[in-house]
């Protein structure tokens, strides 16, 4: 969801950026997004098409920024980060230092809250990195 929302918020500002999503573990590699994620994005008219993949070393040179959803993923990314590579930060550090809530084990309301959080974090990230519109 975060990938789709960030790409959408950037496009609304006329910014064309490359955004990708990857996990620090291989739990869902090759799988499509959760149906509740797709439903939430569709409700907000945000296209989402993605197959899960795991972070790879090349990501640290391909991307300028790698955003972690929570502290556990941040630690894992920092451990893998080569020197002089992409900036790795908690996504929430651009706004309120809060991790993104994982809606997976709850109902659709959790996905809506996650969507709202991703929207706020996307705009905070874009404000800091690209500048306010």
Q: 1, 67 in Cβ contact below 8 A?
A: no
Four-CA torsion 101, 107, 111, 114, nearest 10 degrees: -20
Give the total number of structural domains in the chain.
Answer: 1
Give yes or no for residue 13 having a pLDDT over 80: yes
Tokens representing residue 32 in the block? 């499509």
Give residue for tokens 């959803």. 69
CATH assignment of the domain containing 38: 3.40.50.2300
**Segment 27-64, tens digit of pLDDT:** 899 999 999 999 999 999 999 998 999 999 999 999 99
Q: What is the pLDDT confidence band of residue 84, given thresholds at 50, 70 and 90? A: confident
Tokens representing residue 18 in the block? 């490359």
**Segment 90-120, tens digit of pLDDT:** 999 999 999 999 999 999 999 999 999 999 9
- The parent domain of residue 10 ranges over 1-130
Q: Which is catalytic among the residues 32, 102, 109, 133?
A: 102
Helix, strand, or coil (residue 25): coil
102 labelled catalytic? yes
CB-based burial label for 16 (10 Å; 0-12, 13-18, 19+): exposed
Euclidean distance between CA atoms 31 and 133, whole angstroms: 36
* DSSP-assigned letter for residue 34: P
Query: What's the pLDDT score for residue 132?
Result: 66
């Amino acid at each position: 969801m975060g990938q789709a929302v960030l790409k959408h918020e950037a496009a609304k500002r006329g910014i064309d950026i490359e955004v990708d999503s990857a996990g620090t573990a291989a739990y869902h590699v090759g799988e499509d997004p959760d149906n509740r994620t797709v439903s939430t994005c569709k409700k907000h008219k945000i296209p989402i098409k993605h197959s899960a993949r795991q972070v790879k070393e090349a990501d640290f040179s391909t991307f300028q920024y790698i955003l972690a959803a929570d502290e556990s993923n941040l630690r894992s990314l920092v451990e893998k980060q080569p020197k002089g590579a992409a900036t790795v930060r908690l996504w929430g550090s651009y706004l309120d230092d809060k991790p993104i809530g994982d809606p997976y084990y709850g109902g659709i309301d959790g996905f809506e809250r996650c969507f709202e959080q991703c929207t706020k974090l996307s705009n905070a990230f874009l404000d800091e990195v690209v500048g306010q519109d």
